Every structure is written in C-alpha cells, then in structure tokens.
Structure 1
Amino acid sequence: MTPGNCAAAFSAQMAGEENFKEELRSQDASRNLNQHETAGHPHSRSLEMLLHRLRAVHTKQDDKFANLLDAVGEFGTFQQRLVALTFIPSIMSAFFMFADHFVFTAQKPYCNTSWILAVGPHLSEAQQLNLTIPQAPNGSFLTCLMYLPVPWNLDSIIQFGLNDTDTCQDGWIYPAAKKRSLINEFDLVCGMETKKDTAQIMFMAGLLIGSLIFGLITDKMGRYPAILLSLLGLILFGFGTAFVNSFHLYLLFRFGISQSVVGYAISSISLATEWLVGEHRAHAIILEHCFFAVGSMLLTGIAYSLPHWRLLFLVGGVLVIPLISYIWILPESPRWLMMKGKVKEAKQVLCYAASVNKKTIPSNLLDELQLPRKKVTRASVLDFCKNRQLCKVTLVMSCVWFTISYTYFTLSLRMRELGVSIHFRHMVPSIMEMPARLCCIFILQQIGRKWSLAVTLLQAIIWCLLLLFLPEELKSVTILVLTLGEFSLAATVTVFFLYTAELLPTVLRATGLGLVSLASAAGAILSLTIISQTPSLLPIFLCCVLAIVAFSLSSLLPETRDQPLSDSLDHSSQMSFQKDVAPDLSSDGSFWNKVKDMTTEDTSSDDMSEEAAKNVILNAQILRLDPYPVSNPALKQFNKEEANSQAPCGPGPQTILGWN
C-alpha cells in the first residue's frame, strides 16, 4: 500500500471510529453515566494499566540512558557496591555533624582560689570553698565570685573571715566534673556561655557556604572529585579537631567539618540518582539516610562511654581514615560525563560497570551515546533565574527545606527546654528515624514523590498544632508529640532529597541541591535566634504556618515517579507544574494531542507510531464506554476491520507493546 493509500485508509478508519463511538454513546448513555466513574471496575483498572504501560514506553524512549542502564544491569553487583560505598561516609557525617551536642557537657564552676593553699596546704576542698567563695542566701556557693586574697595567716582568715569580693581572677575549677568537656577545657562559663551558641552558628555558616561551594564543584568538576574532597575534609577537620589548643581554632575546624558534611550529602545523592533507575534510586537514598541515623546512634553510645571530648574526635577520625580507599574504587557519573561532552570516558565507565555485573552492552546502544545537541555544558547558576521552571522548582523546594530545618531545630530545642537529657534527645529520635525512613519505601511506591512529600508535611502540621494546645503540665505527652514530630520530619527529609534530585537537570543537579540547602541553614539559624528571644509558643506557631505554606506550594510541583531524569535545561523547561489530572478519554481531542506529543518527541528512535498509539487508546476508550461485555457482532466486525486496515501501515498496538 502506498503512503497516500495508507493515509486515506487511516482517515477512513478514524471516521469510522468516530461514528462507532457516537453509536455506542447513544445506545448505552444512561448505563455509562451511572457506572462510568466506579473506581473498582476491572476495565477501569485495565485502562489505568494501559496508560501506565504507554507512559513507561514513552519514558524509555525519552531517556535513552535508561536503556543503557538496563543493559548494564539495573541493580547488579556494581550498583549494589556503589550504594554500599555511600553508607560508611553517611555514618561518619552524622557522627561529626552532631558531635557538638556532646562536647559541651554542663559543668558547675567555682573560682580558682588556690592562693589560700599557701597558708593552709592541708585544707579540704569543702573548707577551701567555704573560706574563699561567697554564698547565696540559700547557702549555695556563688559560681562567678570569690573573696580577694589577703596577706593573713590561716587562723586570722578563719577568725575574721573575708569581705572583699570580685570576679574570678585565676580561672575556674570544676570539682563535680566527671568528664572533660569544652566547657572546662576552655572555661566557657561566667559570661562565656554564649560561645556555645557561637559554635552552632559557625557550623550553620559552614553549611551555608559549603552548600554553594560544593554544589558548584560537583557540577563543574564532577561527582567523583567532590566526594573525594568532602571525605578529605572529614578526615582532616574531624581528626584534627582532637588537637586544637584554643576555642577559636575549634570553631575553625567545625566550620570545615560542616562544609564537608553538606558537600558529601550533595555529591553522593547526585551520584546515586544518576547511576540508578526507578525504585532502586529511591531505595538507595532511603538506605543512605537510614545509615545517617545509625551514625547518630553510634555517636550517642561512644560519647556516653568516653571520658574526654578529644577522644570522641580521635575515634571518629580513626574510623574515617579508611575512606581514603575511595580514590581507587569510586566511579564517576556517566550522565555527568555525557553532559560535559566526555563520551569516551562515559562509555568506559559503563563498560566497566557491565563487566562487574557480567553483562554485555550491545554496540548499537553505545553508538547512540553522542554529544548533546546543544551546549548544555555552559549551564551556570544564573540559569536558576533565567529558566522559569527551574526557578520555580528551586523556590518551592527552598521553602520546603527551610520549613523542615526550622521545624526540626525548633522541636529539638523545645525538648531541651523541657530538661530532657542529651543522650535521650539523640538516641530515641535516631531510633525512631529508622522506621520513619523505611516507611518511605511504601508510600513512595504507592502515591509517588509529590504526594509523599505532602503527606509527611501534613503529619508535621498535625503534631505542631497539637503542641500549641497541650498544657505545660503534661510534660511526658509533650515529649511524645515532639518525638513523633521529629519522626515525621525524618521521613520528609528523605522524600525531599529524592524528589529534589529527580526534579533538577543533570547539568545543575548538585548546584540546585546546594541552593536549596542554603535555605536549610537559614532555617536552622532562624530557629536558634527565635527560641532564645521569644516565648515558647511563638516558635511552634511559626512551625505550623511555615508547614502549611510548604504543604500548599508542594502541590505546584510535577510528579517524577516513572519519569526520565532531565539532563539538560531544555528538558527541564518542559516539565509541567499543573496538578496531575487523569486524562478524560471521553472529552475532546486534547488527550489525542498529548499522545501525539508523546509519540513525536523523538522520531528517530520511536518504537510506537502515532497511529498505533491512537488505536491503543481507542480500544481502551471503547472498553470504558461499555463496561459490560458486548456480544454485538458489529463490534467484532469493527475490530476486525480496524486490524486489517492497520496491518499494511505498521504493526498493531499489541505487537508494539509486546502483547500476544
């Protein structure tokens, strides 16, 4: 059949299809109106499966890299090893990130009055304090005042006592201290307590700067160099903190550690996202976050047993030194290599992965790896302002991340205000985070990324609202609600990182993660500021407001489940920020236009023709119009004529989709 005859046959076929559809509508209109929307009908489920199958076919066509990863092995030995390699650094990242909380152990100080030992060397500690330290009306010793020395003998001091007081002249002593902490190491007492908050602010500042720096490094230099730099930072600054001789040097090393922690988070998530496909990607990121919780639990146990704060950093530094081996065993992202025009290197990495998985990549698939059509390598941070859709993604996710960070730190500080011990505040939430993150596997599979983020945010809103109305007398209930709130936020963080990494294009994925991480540090700093200056209910109220705003904005984002990763800015611009609405097959031709767009995006590699896709949807529509089995011979004759008219122009839909 000639192309003209084929086109004429197709036109006649479409006209017959429209007439037949009108006939079916007129015959069974009342029955269809009553049962068209029944949710559990098997034909409705079949239609949903058909649409999902079509979407999956289009996804594979649109993302040629997915075909290569299929040939390499979706989750073979190579990918399993890659995921395992991300676990140990995640443990150590949590170890160094929360170490601050265990090195500022509260100590009760007294002025050093050892001058009296020159005239009374045999005085006990209690006698020394009684003679040289002023007492409060309740009989307790004052911590920041002392009696000034006098040139008297011990008998005169005991008989007449001392009267002139002043602030501590020769430092402090800590008679009740059981552990050596930063407080009694650098005397952070008597007006120096604010330096503890300075350490937290310095850490947050490191997160701010590190997010931007490592985001740019990861996209410019590659995922592999960024991971190595972050691991080197953990080794140098983590191990080196054990040897600092001043508090200012300690702040400097904490600043370096925070940059390394956020740098590893950004680069490792980018690498895992680009090497894995589908649900394997979600599982890998979820497990990485679970091991982050393991690191927090490990830190709590080690800090509880060690008597000196320097030993804590020594142990952490020793554990992180073996990560130097990553220089030889960590792979680069082939997606990033392609976007940078390094086709040869990308092919080598893929072939190595295939050899580890004991697979062979067909040569025709490797030949399809060509340089990008456009200069995507010129993408820069300015594109987050120029590209409208990319700007929307960044702003919405920054708002969400700001909310998560602010709420998490507010709940944690609120628990500290209630007098909960430091070990309980870290161990119990860390244990709770494990099932919270594992639950994400189920909800991500059932409702996708977009609604999983919305559900976890909604849970956080509920717990924050409960905190507003709980009376202060119910301390145990308040602690339970705070723990459940942190449980929900842990799941939100996991969904957030996965969702953000899938929304951003490969050329700017790490930079985008770095930009939204800026909002995280800003939220934490705001929480520290508000908690210290405002009543306890206002910060919780702001948590509710911010969570509601983030929940509303999350509805603007597109779903990314079963969608190809966007590599270039052009593909990112095509993402729709409208709500996901099921196609109305009984309305006008808008859905046909969607099918046409799907099937004509890449005509050079399409496995499904436009006519075949329309026939598939038409068959599904006929089933939907008539939910009951039709024994009308006209229908059988119509289907037979349809198949005969389609056969000369190309394979039928069942052949294309692999159905028999």
Structure 2
Amino acid sequence: QVSGSSNRQGTSGSSYSCSLDALLRRLRAMDTKKDDKFADVLDAVGEFGTFQWRLIVLTFIPNIMSSFFMFADHFVFSEEKPYCNTSWILALDPNLSEAEQMNLTLPRAHNGSFLTCLMYLPVSWDLESIIQFGLNITDPCEDGWIYPESKRRSLISEFDLVCGKELDKETVQTMFMTGQLIGSLIFGLLSDKLGRYPTILLSLLGLMFFGFGTAFVNSFHQYLFFRFGVSQAVMGYAIVSLTLVTEWLVGEHRAHAVILEHCFFSVGIMFLTGLAYNLPHWRMLFLVGAVPVFPLISYIWILPESPRWLMMKGKVKEAKEVLCYAAEVNKKTIPLNLLEELQLPGKKVTKASVLDFYSNRYLCKVTFVMGCVWLTISYSYFTLSLKLRDFGVSIHFRQAIPGILEVPARLCSIVLLEQIGRKWSLAVILIQTAFMCFLTLFLPQGLKSAIILVLVLGQLSLATSVSVVFLYTAELFPTIVRSTGLGLVSLASSGGAILSLTIISQLPALLPVFLCFISSIAALCFSALLPETQNQLLSDSMEQFSRASSFKKRRTDEDAPDDMSEEVAKNTIRNAQILRMDSNSYSNASLKKSREEKTDRPG
C-alpha cells in the first residue's frame, strides 16, 4: 500500500515536473510571439503571394550576372603561344607568308620548334642575302609578339603577358577574392546602417559600372581595378539580397526562395560557359554578357525595403506603408488592429554596431562558429576545383558540368531542410564532403576518371552547403545586425578561398585535400554548437536574439519581466502540487480510518 502510494507520488511529481517544463516553454513561445508581430502581419499580407514571387524573381538576373562576373577570369586567360613580331622583314618583301617570315627571323630549339621569346636581330641586307647566309645574332623580342596559333583573343595576347611579363592566374583570383573580402564588410555595414533597398541599388550600380566597363579597359592594371570593383559589388549583392528575402518571407518559403535564388547563380555559370565557348574575343564576352545588367535600372522603382529593418530603425510609418503595399499586390487586407500593434521594440530605437560582435557573447560565439564553417566550405570548394585543373580537365568542363549538376543538387537540399532542419542538413553535407575528400586521398592516382568523379561530387556537395549555410546564417543573426553578421562571416569565406590558392601552390599534391578533410570534420564539430532555426521566428533586436540563442547567458535587467513570469509559473505549479499532495494525504487518511472502523465493527 505504502509502496504503491509512493510510486503514485513519484509519478505525480514527474508529471508535474513535465508540466512545469511545458508551461515554461509555452510562456517563452508566447513571449517571443508577442515580441514579433510580423508573424500575424505577414499571414495577413499573404505568406507567399504575388508580391513574394515578384521579390524572388527580381533576384534572378542579378544572381546570373553575379556568377558571370565572378568566374569570368577563368575564360579570359586562355593559354597562348607567343612568337616575336618580326614584321621588319616584310619591308624587304611584303609577299612573304607568315611561315616564311618566321622561318627566316626566328631561332629554333633543339627539337626544331621556334623559340618563343627570342628573335634574330634585324640587318641591312637584302632578302637574297638573308636567305643565302641566314641570321645568327639573337635578342629578346623588340617589337612585341604575334600569336599565329591562337584562335581567340584573350587578355594574354591583348596585353602581351608573356616572356617575363606573365601574371599568375592565382594572383588575379586573389585580387578578386580580396575585393570580395572588403565588399562583404563594407556592404554588410551599409545595409544595416542605410537599409537593404539603397545598398542593393548601390551594389547593382557597381555591377553595371565595373562589370560592363571591364570591356573598355586600356591596360591590364585597369582590368585588375575593375575586377576588384565588381568583386565588391558581387559580394555586396549576395549578402544584402539574401537579407531582404529572408526578412520578407516566413517558414519554409524562406528556404525555397534562397535555394531558388542560388540555382540561378548556377544558371549564370552555364551562361558564362556557353558565351565563352562561342565568342572569339574577351571584350565581346564582357560586352554581350553584361547586357542583362541594364534592365536592373528598373529596380529603383520596384524594389521594396525590408519592413523589419524599418521597424528596428523607428520608421514605423514607412514599415506599415510597405506592408500595406505588399498586401495590396497580394489582393489582401491587413486588419487595422494588427497594424496598430506594430510598434517600436521598446521605448526607443534599437541601435547596434559592429562592436556588438565583440562585446555580446552570443554574437561573438555564433560569428566564430559560422566563420569556421564558411572558411572550411570556401577553402574546400576552391581546393577541389584546382585539383580538377591539375588532372588536365578543361576549363569548360570544370565550369559547365558542375554548373549543370548544381541545380538539381540545390533543389534536393530543400528536402533535407524540410525534413531534418538547418543544423542537421549542414551536418549531412559536411559529412559527405569529408567522405569525398577521404576517398580522394586513398584512390590510386591511376584511376583518373574515378578521382575526377569524386572531386566533382565533392564540389556539388560544397555548392549545396553554400545555400544551406547562407540561409542558416541569415536566420541566426537578428535583423538589427543581420547584414553585418553575414558580412563578417563572408570575410572567412574570402579568406578560405585565398588560403586555398596559397596552400595548393606551396604544399604537396595530397596535403591540401587532407586539410579539406580535417577542416570538414572540425566544421562539423563546431556546427554542433549552433541552435536549430527551422520553424523559428526571426529575431529582430539584440534582446530577442539573446533569448532565442541556445548559449547560456546572464540575464539583463530587460529580462526581469520574463524571470517574474517564470517564477510565477513555478510557484503556481508548486502550490498546485502541494494542494494535490495534501488532498491525496487527506484521502488516504480517510480511507485508512474507514477500514479501521470496518475492522472494529462486529461481523
């Protein structure tokens, strides 16, 4: 009897403990929903109507152009075989063929081929004497170079980057990545300071000016400058457009939009590859390929601002106007009481700066973890791409095939995001990447086709992880510093690319791939520290972000009402538990007394 009563009391205590936890979770969820009125407002606007579709479509052309400008360097530095320009001999006989001219004026190597960087010095002889006695004194090229075997006009032949003037392609890519590094920081800060709308317009202006203007440069240094400028615009648009889409959409619509946006990034790679294969001149590549940037001028009139950012900056009236416009486009009506509930998140406008990423423990930890993940993904992607080049794979194959396969790979990631969430999706992709790198290390070098297949699959996995980590990172940071946070972790991405270009040229062949494997495992371990964001409301202010974060922290004074609410809940359940236990004790005593009376009563 006593044992059964004890068991019931233990079970009762356990159930009350569960009830307490459930109630506390419910209180926190109610508090979060109370702080974020956009869930109800966006429901009224229409979660995924015409307005949201139009917003996503507006990202298509800029993403195509972003990938076009990002990878254009791969196609404008085609290998060229130079020979000294010896047109001086044509003054003796203008009817000489190119083969005859080269045979008379260029020295040969031991294998019979013409030397590329030497020529015979001009003499004052007539043509017959030159043919009879030949020329003997050689000297470096004096009048430039010719490229008789070239079928395309590249930057190498345009600016004669040969014979001691060669510029390493990795140097050009490093310059581009440095521009991305600076652009990610500048545009991230500008977006949180000025707004999403003006910052996107500024990045699109950079795409038009620096992208299209590249076709008109007069020197190689000008080319580097324009590439440096367009790299900043590319990274700026990638960060701010993702921020805008994230803040307008809710639930899984957000994931669908980000994945679809990045699919058109892959379309841009295929667009670039097709143009580069068919156009014979590098200037034509930039002229024809950059034409789609001009319709982007219309974005001045049709691009919306983020209502979340407007609210955080105290621009409540403008935020309501934007939301009402979106509802009008979706043929919806927002109830007046919902609009009236949209007020400032506190007594004054929320302010934040880049220094918060140092002083705020949560932002610091999330930025560090995501920075490690981004660095790993970027380093691994470029390392595997460069390994494909070392195996003699043509540039058109290295760009076109992964570009085609990335589209279905990214679309498949939607299933992962919906079924297992952001955190586990990232973990699955990192495990797959580590496995591909592991296979590359142990496959025999003679199995060239198998190694190439593994490298391509590894690239696909990493390309998919870019979409997942972009979405995940945007959801982790609060609205007030979302773009700045994305910019800071993008610094790690650019750093990973530069690190890959440096390491792969300095270390033995397999060691860079081994570092990919190690870094993938490390990133997998770090990602375990992150909270899940699937089906969670976006955080807007720093206080909301702190409550939503899984990292422990000391509560601030602003959280005192939450502590009081939790304390009230605890006291309520404890009092109920005490009353229930007293009731049970009274019932047990009454039952015992009744049995004793029955026992004493004569039979």
Q: TM-score range by the shorter chain?
A: 0.7 to 0.9
Which residue in 2 is equivalent to 1:257? 230
The alignment partner of 1:472 has SS state of coil
Gaps of 5+ in 2: 15-21, 553-558, 578-583, 585-603
Amino acid at match of 2:367: T
Cα distance, 1:356 vs structure 2: 1.1
The alignment partner of 1:290 has SS state of helix
1:103 aligns with 2:76: yes
Moved more, 135-144 or 220-229: 135-144
Pair 1:334–1:125, CA change in 2 (3 A): same
Pair 1:574–1:182, CA change in 2 (3 A): same
Q: Alignment partner for residue 162 of structure 1, among 132, 135, 138?
A: 135
Which residue in 2 is equivalent to 1:491? 464
Which residue in 1 is equivalent to 2:428? 455
Pair 1:278–1:21, CA change in 2 (3 A): farther
Residues 63-82 of structure 1 show CA distances to partners (whole Å, capped at 9, x for unaligned) of 22111111111111111111
Amino acid at match of 2:122: P
Which residue in 1 is equivalent to 2:189? 216
8 Å contact from structure 2 (residues 189, 484) kept in 1: yes
8 Å contact from structure 1 (residues 56, 562) kept in 2: no
Which residue in 1 is equivalent to 2:244? 271
8 Å contact from structure 1 (residues 72, 361) kept in 2: yes
Which residue in 1 is equivalent to 2:526? 553
Q: Percent identity?
A: 70
Q: Alignment partner for residue 291 of structure 2, among 304, 311, 318?
A: 318
- d(CA) in 1 for partners of 2:436 and 2:107? 47
Residues 77-114 of structure 1 show CA distances to partners (whole Å, capped at 9, x for unaligned) of 11111111111111111111111111112111111111
Pair 1:525–1:214, CA change in 2 (3 A): same
Which residue in 2 is equivalent to 1:407? 380
Which residue in 2 is equivalent to 1:308? 281
- d(CA) in 2 for partners of 1:205 and 1:297? 25
Cα distance, 1:52 vs structure 2: 11
- d(CA) in 2 for partners of 1:601 and 1:384? 26
Q: How does 1:91-490 map to 2 (within 5 A)?
A: 91-373=64-346, 377-490=350-463
Pair 1:427–1:567, CA change in 2 (3 A): same
Pair 1:602–1:198, CA change in 2 (3 A): farther
Q: Alignment partner for residue 45 of structure 2, among 53, 59, 72?
A: 72
8 Å contact from structure 2 (residues 184, 232) kept in 1: yes
Pair 1:443–1:50, CA change in 2 (3 A): farther
Cα distance, 1:500 vs structure 2: 0.3
Which residue in 2 is equivalent to 1:564? 537
Which residue in 2 is equivalent to 1:87? 60
Cα distance, 1:499 vs structure 2: 0.4
Amino acid at match of 1:395: F
Residues 409-436 of structure 1 show CA distances to partners (whole Å, capped at 9, x for unaligned) of 1111111111111111100000111111
Amino acid at match of 1:70: D
8 Å contact from structure 2 (residues 35, 345) kept in 1: no
1:517 aligns with 2:502: no
- d(CA) in 1 for partners of 2:452 and 2:540? 45
TM-score by length of 1: 0.80
- d(CA) in 2 for partners of 1:381 and 1:522? 19
Cα distance, 1:51 vs structure 2: 12
- d(CA) in 2 for partners of 1:21 and 1:432? 63
The alignment partner of 2:505 has SS state of helix
- d(CA) in 2 for partners of 1:537 and 1:20? 68
8 Å contact from structure 1 (residues 566, 572) kept in 2: yes
- d(CA) in 1 for partners of 2:100 and 2:484? 63
- d(CA) in 1 for partners of 2:347 and 2:154? 57
The alignment partner of 2:178 has SS state of helix
8 Å contact from structure 1 (residues 238, 316) kept in 2: no
Pair 1:466–1:161, CA change in 2 (3 A): same
- d(CA) in 2 for partners of 1:258 and 1:74? 34
- d(CA) in 1 for partners of 2:85 and 2:348? 69
8 Å contact from structure 1 (residues 294, 430) kept in 2: yes
Cα distance, 1:510 vs structure 2: 0.3
The alignment partner of 2:290 has SS state of helix
8 Å contact from structure 1 (residues 376, 569) kept in 2: no
8 Å contact from structure 1 (residues 505, 572) kept in 2: yes
The alignment partner of 2:119 has SS state of strand
Pair 1:316–1:26, CA change in 2 (3 A): closer
- d(CA) in 2 for partners of 1:22 and 1:407? 57
Which residue in 1 is equivalent to 2:8? 23
Amino acid at match of 2:341: E
Pair 1:329–1:21, CA change in 2 (3 A): farther
Aligned length: 562
Cα distance, 1:159 vs structure 2: 2.3
Residues 504-540 of structure 1 show CA distances to partners (whole Å, capped at 9, x for unaligned) of 0111000111111111111111111122222211111
- d(CA) in 1 for partners of 2:316 and 2:225? 41
- d(CA) in 2 for partners of 1:601 and 1:51? 11
Gaps of 5+ in 1: 1-18, 30-48, 580-596, 619-633, 635-660
Cα distance, 1:120 vs structure 2: 3.3
The alignment partner of 1:179 has SS state of coil
- d(CA) in 1 for partners of 2:118 and 2:510? 35
- d(CA) in 1 for partners of 2:25 and 2:454? 40
Residues 540-574 of structure 1 show CA distances to partners (whole Å, capped at 9, x for unaligned) of 11111111111110001111111111111122223
8 Å contact from structure 1 (residues 376, 507) kept in 2: no
- d(CA) in 1 for partners of 2:343 and 2:31? 20
Pair 1:441–1:142, CA change in 2 (3 A): same
Pair 1:565–1:614, CA change in 2 (3 A): farther
Moved more, 355-364 or 497-506: 355-364
Q: CA RMSD in A?
A: 3.0
- d(CA) in 1 for partners of 2:59 and 2:512? 35
